[in-house]
Amino acid sequence: MSFLSNAKIIVTALNEYHQQSISRKKPVIDQIPIEKIINDLELSSFIRTGGLSEESLSQFISKYLDSTTRLHHPAYLAHQVSVPHYAGALAALIDGFTNNPMAIYEMGPGAASIEYHIVNWLLEKVGWQPAPLKNQKDSDQTFAGGVLTHGGSLANLTALIAARKRMVPNVWQEGNPSDLALLAPDECHYSIARAAGILGIGRHAIYRLDVDRKGVVVPDRLATAYQRVESEGKRPMALIANACSTSVGLYDPLQEMGEFCQEKNLWFHIDGAHGAAALLSKKHRKLMKGVRLADSLIWDAHKLMRTPVLCAAVLVRDYRTLDNAFEQEASYIFHDKDQPGIDFIHRTVECTKAGLGLKLFMVLAAIGEQGVAEYIDRQFQLTIEAYEYFQRLPDFECAVKPQSNILCFRVKGDDSLQLKLRDRLINQGDFYLSTAAINDKRYMRLVFMHPNTNMNDVERLVHKIKQLVNDMVTAQ
């Protein structure tokens, strides 16, 4: 059967790819021009004639892999996307092959059961009691619930849809009232502004929370921001916290923000896309103190949990807020039925939805939750060590003391120097990092995602940067 022989070609090529990447034999990044890639991969001819199999597949996969950015390379330091554990990648293969769109139970009982179980596991890490399968309606207790989505951006949107629905119960019939607002720090991820746009309340309806020099919310100033919204005749439908922020990876004071929201009966949303995984670590869990006060929390498994893209969770303290968030009907799926499981389709924007839980589950099942926790501890520790190292170097400075696995630093010089250095590093392909603007200054940004990156890599990077700076000075 050609499936087996082709699969073997691909798996063998991936195995070699992994070895070349982890041993730093190939560049972490190679920005090949698009025309060349389209040409080299013979895209047009394969589309016309088909037949990508065996020998041609082998050639194709090899060329394709050379056109990837190698996340498995320890000098991959640029973005928050996970270096996936192979078990998660195998899960993606299983999911792709079986293709069970599990948002309705009958289209994927196994995947739906795993999603239900894994969501409950996440809820318990938050400290919430998951809704039991049956009899939750007769109980006085508040039970939590959730759903997996294709990414954190969609998860943020989903949570804010639930927040709006609680405040405006007839919103799906009448549309938005004109007085809706959001409270959020400037540092929040752009998907929040995008969600506000999609929700139709607009960016101007986002009122900023006061932050300190590091971009972290100042709890004493929450009341002032709230009053500003009220004095303009608006109603805040949610207050948003970062856990952690995207640019520098710092956590907002969740406990104080949560207490404030309780006092005002305001929906508290925590964007934990990157940093909620700290909940798994005994050492770093305290960064998430106050998380239980949230009405909603999002948490990406494809960031700090070694899971391949995409797998994000929307978690809510009261499962009913998510069950009520959407209310469209489709007679071919939404109808009374006796079934041995549960549907997720009423909780998401998506209709067809992949079995995302399998990827996270298989990673957990391979290394155990303890394995993920150890990984997080290691990466956070390495980041602090790198920070201390930069502190000792006279020509370098860091933006803030890191709390997670994100570190922003700059070389003495102006903003354009930082950008130039990054460009050169990427062009040479030995290191891949990003940049971020903090307090109107440009920094180079390291995100320590790879479980093999170590201080030698950081020292090599510094050495390389010094060399590049020297070359620039000599060239002038």
Ligand X SMILES: *Cc1c(COP(=O)(O)O)cnc(C)c1O
**CB-nearer residue toward ligand X: 65 or 192:** 192
Min CB(387)–ligand X separation in Å: 19
**CB-nearer residue toward ligand X: 242 or 435:** 242
The one segment of 7-15, 63-71, 148-156, 210-218 that binds ligand X by CB under 6 A: 148-156
- Of residues 274, 346, 353, 359, which one binds ligand X by CB under 6 A? 274
153 binds ligand X (CB under 6 A): yes
Size, binding site for ligand X by CB under 6 A: 14
The one segment of 202-210, 267-275, 352-360, 417-425 that binds ligand X by CB under 6 A: 267-275
The one segment of 149-157, 203-211, 313-321, 460-468 that binds ligand X by CB under 6 A: 149-157
- Of residues 300, 360, 361, 364, which one binds ligand X by CB under 6 A? 300
Considering only residues 183 to 222 of the shown chain, the ones binding ligand X according to CB under 6 A are: 189, 191
Min CB(436)–ligand X separation in Å: 12
80 binds ligand X (CB under 6 A): yes
82 binds ligand X (CB under 6 A): no
Min CB(356)–ligand X separation in Å: 11
**CB-nearer residue toward ligand X: 131 or 404:** 404
**CB-nearer residue toward ligand X: 153 or 307:** 153
151 binds ligand X (CB under 6 A): yes
348 binds ligand X (CB under 6 A): no
The one segment of 39-47, 63-71, 117-125, 268-276 that binds ligand X by CB under 6 A: 268-276
Min CB(273)–ligand X separation in Å: 3
Work out the burial of residue 214: count CB atoms within 10 Å of its CB; fewer than 13 is exposed, 13-18 middle, 19 or more buried: middle
**CB-nearer residue toward ligand X: 26 or 85:** 85
Considering only residues 396 to 455 of the shown chain, the ones binding ligand X according to CB under 6 A are: none
- Of residues 131, 163, 273, 408, which one binds ligand X by CB under 6 A? 273
Binding site for ligand X (CB under 6 A): 80, 151-153, 156, 189, 191, 242, 246, 271, 273-274, 300, 312
